[in-house]
């Protein structure tokens, strides 16, 4: 069947009219409301973009305020050393200014032990386990005193790791405070064990459990045993190539001996990094870092001025061009501007009965809304009252009691001075033996027991042997417990003490979560007797501002819904009863940060405003689509109508032509002439 080709149509052929132009004009009239809708949408899009810029500016100001919301940002000190080849130093913000004389006489160093020479790193040594302990040897290497603050660790040497290189890798992988390396001395390979911590109290003792059944001879894994109190070749099978030693430094005429070359507990608030010994004394000068404090203050001013400039540009009206910025007259933008400015108009109560404001340190508000700094006045305040600057800008708390430490304020904590009362001090969980501990520990008999600390349970194994005293056994037990990965991985630690031969284990945690429990068995009975006593820890309890506070460990937390809502204080000691007052101040940076957090929050005014604009834009776009749809439908109608007109005109034209032809073909009527 032949396909019928549709006729080619061209609007206006039949009528002779410029149909496309007529339709375009008619459709343009139908789309006239679209222009207004698009203009309105463009205006809202401009507002949305402007709010994006405002949000970005607020975020930048917020970031700047976060860096200035702690007192430490404004309480910086400098620690200048006369000869920096001998040592360097740093100081905390609360250290007292002054000059000190320091003489580094000896640097600390870590112990290094070496094996005999093996053919190469693939030489088999033996299998079993290596137990590493840290402690101090006396001057004659006759006794070894365990360091209870360093955990003992055991490394298993499996058959697949029994070579020199395998043992090295196993020790390093265990990450136990000992590093292992292999050095070629020209005739073969030597295994070296190095304590990763310097100081005499971190000397190594290596005890071997050799699978060949003999643990101290010169064969198998026993070749790596090291106990200087034993005879050479019978437990003292490694050689010391570097002895452990402490750092010795004289500070203002007082000799100080420390295990590390980094000393942070000699001069309060000062950390010394020792570099070279024996070159004579040098000076250390501690002073207020006025440049850093002024820079932090200027950072606040610059951040605020940048925000103010951005906001001004977004809300301005140009009288010359008669063009308004996108947010000119916008209630949300004006509300943000008023709220931010109101913060700067407030005074800050930085201590009981003492307040200050920005003009007191030389910062004033200008007519254009920006801040200006009087550097001379600011420098004078930094010199006279360096603590004032930090408290004027940051969140801070000052306790009258030295054993009450301000920790943090909550989002709803109000500035003010509040009384602190303690009704119960926090305590630690403890287990105490019911009989003196047996000092003879036999492997596989009374050397292992189950222990639960702060809700975590594990099996603990201590070294076999006869201990010289209950104190020595306590040190071994503490080292083994704290070195147990089940406890160490959860940050759990204990202190083990001995009194009249009776052992006690005390959790290092405070509060109701602090508990110590022990399983039954021969090892438990030998160490703690048949009926050890357990005492669970309790949380601190008391009031802040006269209202009951909740306790968590040693932290007292202000009552919800009160002026001290969320205020956290750490009670680190002292008795129950009146513990003085805590003064909470919220400086300008801290207040602005809290204010901006509210603006930028998911439920804040910016989110609400932009959500509303987006809804309006979506509605306008729907209206625009409706107008377009209506115009498209009208265009189809117009084209259909003009097509019908074309067809009608074409038909009429055809009829006219036909009639003209017919009329032209009619016989002509001629008249007869008269004679």
Between CA 217 and CA 233 the distance in angstroms is 6
Distance of CA 179 to the CA centre of its chain: 30
Can you say whether residue 545 is alpha, beta or left, with left for phi > 0 and alpha for psi between -120 and 50 degrees? left
Per-residue confidence at 1, pLDDT binned at 50, 70, 90? very low
Q: What is the mean pLDDT of the chain?
A: 89
pTM value surpassing 0.85: no
pLDDT of residue 35: 82
Between CA 79 and CA 88 the distance in angstroms is 8
Q: State the CB neighbour count (10 A cutoff) for residue 86.
A: 21
Between CA 206 and CA 260 the distance in angstroms is 22
* Cβ 392 vs Cβ 356: under 8 Å: yes
Which range (123-127, 460-464, 545-549, 575-579) has the least confidence? 460-464
pLDDT of residue 354: 81
Helix, strand or coil, per DSSP, at residue 90: strand
Mean local confidence (pLDDT), 207-229: 94
For the record, the structure tokens of 359 come out as 């003009």
Which distant-in-sequence residues (6+ apart) come within 8 Å of 111 by Cβ? 194, 195, 202, 203, 204, 240, 242, 243, 244
* Cβ 88 vs Cβ 130: under 8 Å: no
Placement of tokens 């109290």 in the chain? 201
Which distant-in-sequence residues (6+ apart) come within 8 Å of 601 by Cβ? 607
Q: What backbone phi and psi angles, to 5 degrees, belong to 331? A: -65, -35
β partners of residue 81: 284
Q: What is the pLDDT of residues 66-94, one digit of tens each?
A: 878 777 777 788 999 999 999 999 998 77
pLDDT of residue 166: 97
Q: What is the pLDDT of residues 374-391, one digit of tens each?
A: 999 999 998 888 778 888
| In the predicted structure, residue 549 carries a pLDDT above the cut 50 | yes
pLDDT of residue 530: 92
Strands 395-399 and 371-373: unpaired
Between CA 114 and CA 240 the distance in angstroms is 6
Cα angle, residue 103 at apex, residues 101 and 108 outer, rounded to 5°: 135
| In the predicted structure, residue 638 carries a pLDDT above the cut 90 | no
For the record, the structure tokens of 513 come out as 């979560």
Give the percent of the chain with pLDDT over 70.
Answer: 96
Per-residue confidence at 396, pLDDT binned at 50, 70, 90? confident
Between CA 242 and CA 114 the distance in angstroms is 9
β partners of residue 114: 192, 239
Can you say whether residue 440 is alpha, beta or left, with left for phi > 0 and alpha for psi between -120 and 50 degrees? beta
Spatial CA neighbour of 23 closest among 632, 624, 626: 632
């Amino acid at each position: 069947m032949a396909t019928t080709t549709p006729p080619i149509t061209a609007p206006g052929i039949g009528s002779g009219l410029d149909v496309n132009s007529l339709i375009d004009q008619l459709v343009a009239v139908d789309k006239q409301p679209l222009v207004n809708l698009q203009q309105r949408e463009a205006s809202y899009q401009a507002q949305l973009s402007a709010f994006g810029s405002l949000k970005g500016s607020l975020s930048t100001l917020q970031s700047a305020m976060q860096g200035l919301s702690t007192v430490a940002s404004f309480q910086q000190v400098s620690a200048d050393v006369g000869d920096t080849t001998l040592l360097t130093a740093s100081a905390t913000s609360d250290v007292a200014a002054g000059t000190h004389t320091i003489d580094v006489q000896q640097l600390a160093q870590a112990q290094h032990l070496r094996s005999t020479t093996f053919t190469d790193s693939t030489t088999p040594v033996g299998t079993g386990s290596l137990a590493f302990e840290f402690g101090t040897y006396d001057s004659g290497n006759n006794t070894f005193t365990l360091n209870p603050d360093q955990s003992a660790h055991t490394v298993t040497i499996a058959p697949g790791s029994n070579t020199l290189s395998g043992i090295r890798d196993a020790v390093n992988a265990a990450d136990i405070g000992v590093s292992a390396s292999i050095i070629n001395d020209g005739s073969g390979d030597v295994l070296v064990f190095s304590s990763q911590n310097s100081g005499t109290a971190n000397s190594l003792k290596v005890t071997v459990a050799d699978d060949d059944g003999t643990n101290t001879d010169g064969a198998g894994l026993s070749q790596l045993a090291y106990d200087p109190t034993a005879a050479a070749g019978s437990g003292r099978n490694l050689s010391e190539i570097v002895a452990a030693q402490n750092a010795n430094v004289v500070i203002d005429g007082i000799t100080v001996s420390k295990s590390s070359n980094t000393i942070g507990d000699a001069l309060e608030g000062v950390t010394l990094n020792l570099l070279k010994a024996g070159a004579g004394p040098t000076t250390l000068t501690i002073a207020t870092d006025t440049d850093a404090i002024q820079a932090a203050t200027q950072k606040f001013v610059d951040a605020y001025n940048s925000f103010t400039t951005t906001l001004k540009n977004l809300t301005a009206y140009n009288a010359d061009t008669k063009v308004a910025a996108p947010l000119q007259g916008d209630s949300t933008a004006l509300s943000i501007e008023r709220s931010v400015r109101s913060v700067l108009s407030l005074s800050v109560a930085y201590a009981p009965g003492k307040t200050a404001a920005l003009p007191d340190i030389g910062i004033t508000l200008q007519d254009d809304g920006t801040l200006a700094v009087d550097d001379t006045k600011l420098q004078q305040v930094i010199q006279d009252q360096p603590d004032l600057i930090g408290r004027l800008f940051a969140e801070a708390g000052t306790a009258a009691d030295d054993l009450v430490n301000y920790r943090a304020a909550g989002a709803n904590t109000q500035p003010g001075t509040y009384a602190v009362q303690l009704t119960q001090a926090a305590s630690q969980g403890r287990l105490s033996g019911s009989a003196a501990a047996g000092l003879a520990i036999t492997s596989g008999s009374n050397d292992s027991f189950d222990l639960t600390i702060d809700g975590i349970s594990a099996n603990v194994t201590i070294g076999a042997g006869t201990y010289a005293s209950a104190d020595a056994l306590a040190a071994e037990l503490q080292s083994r417990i704290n070195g147990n990965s089940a406890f160490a991985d959860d940050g759990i630690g204990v202190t083990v003490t001995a009194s009249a031969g009776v052992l006690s284990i005390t959790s290092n945690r405070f509060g109701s979560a602090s508990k110590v429990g022990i399983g039954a068995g021969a090892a438990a009975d030998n160490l703690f007797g048949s009926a050890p006593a357990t005492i669970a820890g309790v949380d601190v309890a008391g009031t802040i501002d006269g209202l009951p506070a909740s306790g968590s460990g040693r932290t007292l937390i202000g009552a919800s819904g009160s002026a001290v809502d969320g205020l956290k204080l750490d009670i680190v000691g002292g008795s129950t009863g009146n513990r003085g007052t805590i003064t909470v101040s919220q400086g300008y940076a801290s207040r602005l940060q809290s204010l901006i957090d509210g603006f930028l929050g998911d439920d804040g005014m910016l989110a609400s405003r932009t959500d509303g604009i987006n809804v309006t834009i979506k509605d306008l776009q729907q209206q625009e689509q409706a107008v377009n749809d209506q115009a498209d439908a009208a265009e189809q109608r117009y084209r259909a109508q003009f097509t019908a007109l074309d067809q009608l005109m074409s038909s009429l034209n055809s009829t006219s032509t036909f009639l003209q032809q017919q009329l032209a073909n009619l016989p002509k009527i001629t008249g007869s002439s008269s004679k």
